Amino acid sequence: MDIELLKNKYPKCENENYRHECFDEYSYSNVKEIGYFRNNSLWDGQIFINDILDFEYVDGEQIAKSFCHEEKDGWFVCRDETRYKPFDGGYLDSEGKMQGKFIVEYSDGSKFVGEFKDAKRHGQGTFSYLSGGKYVGKYKNDNRDGQGTYTFANGDKYVGEWKNGVQSGKGTSTWVDGDKYEGEYKEGLRSGQGTFTFASGDKYVGEYQNGKKHGKGTLIFSSGAKYVGEWKDDKWHGQGTYTFVDEVKM
């Protein structure tokens, strides 16, 4: 695997939420992924766990590089201290790839329980992260994809649709401070039609683009004041109508 060739061949990824047709090197927990990404998944490159090369990806196909052996209790233990065990009919095929249901305990303390296809998380699954976060929902080709719920360690939560590992489609986000968003997402950001209800009682109903209020929308203040009109980059912009109340100065 010629990482330098990939780095020179493809542009640097600019969107950390969604990597597509680009080269990147990034780390999370004790994992490092480096190479060419397509649809937010490593397509050609390498995955290191605890600085040990565990997998290579060639044309989207995963190739195991680390050695794992089976213990008497049915667990397979790898040299990076990751371990996994099949259940409910899960098995390793003739190429050593996980098929069906497995429990995987990673060396950093995170854990996945769910379905695999060709050694990739695929189907229903639960991923508990070392940080305290937890995802319960659908996977496709190792990415969160379909309906799923992600609960953050601090209690914030997203319930809705995912695609290629990020929020995409309709969903609801709630924050522990009382804020709430219901609406559309694209590539991990609020985009499309949505309603944001603030803990203060203010409410915005309208269009979003790249995570910001953008397009036509209505902001209703808890006091009763209202703005109906155009927005750009989270600010009032263009034509609009303001409705005043005595206690609000605008």
pLDDT at 1 over 80: no
Element (H, E) at 70: strand 68-70
Average of pLDDT values for 213-241? 92
d(CA 71, CA 35): 33
Which residue segments constitute the domains of the chain, with CATH numbers given? 1-65 (no CATH), 158-250 (2.20.110.10)
Average of pLDDT values for 80-107? 92
The whole-number pLDDT of residue 52 equals 79
d(CA 123, CA 71): 27
Q: How confident is the model at residue 238 (pLDDT cuts 50, 70, 90)?
A: confident
Q: How confident is the model at residue 246 (pLDDT cuts 50, 70, 90)?
A: low
The three-state (H, E, C) secondary structure of 131-198, written as one string = CCCEEEEEEECCEEEEEEEEECCCCCEEEEEEECCEEEEEEEEECCCCCEEEEEEECCEEEEEEEEEC
Give the type of residue at 237.
Answer: H
The whole-number pLDDT of residue 160 equals 98
CB 60 within 8 A of CB 75: no
d(CA 165, CA 171): 14
CB 160 within 8 A of CB 171: yes
Give the type of residue at 190.
Answer: R
How does pLDDT run across 127-162, given as a tens digit for each residue? 999 989 999 999 999 999 999 999 999 999 999 999
Q: List the structure tokens of 43.
A: 């397509």
The whole-number pLDDT of residue 249 equals 45
Find the distance separating the first CA and the last CA of the chain, reported in whole Å: 60
d(CA 10, CA 131): 32
Element (H, E) at 4: helix 3-9
Residues 6+ apart with CB under 8 A from 119: 62, 64, 97, 98
Residues 6+ apart with CB under 8 A from 186: 168, 192
The set of long-range contacts for 108-115, using a CB threshold of 8 Å and a minimum separation of 24, is 108/29, 108/30, 108/31, 110/29, 114/139, 115/139
User: Helix, strand or coil for residue 51?
Assistant: coil
User: Helix, strand or coil for residue 225?
Assistant: coil
Q: What is the mean pLDDT of the chain?
A: 92
Q: List the structure tokens of 208.
A: 């979003």
Q: How many CB atoms lie within 10 A of CB 80?
A: 21
How does pLDDT run across 30-77, given as a tens digit for each residue? 889 999 999 999 999 999 887 878 889 999 888 877 678 888 999 999
The set of long-range contacts for 153-161, using a CB threshold of 8 Å and a minimum separation of 24, is 153/129, 160/185, 161/185
How does pLDDT run across 13-33, given as a tens digit for each residue? 998 889 999 999 998 878 899
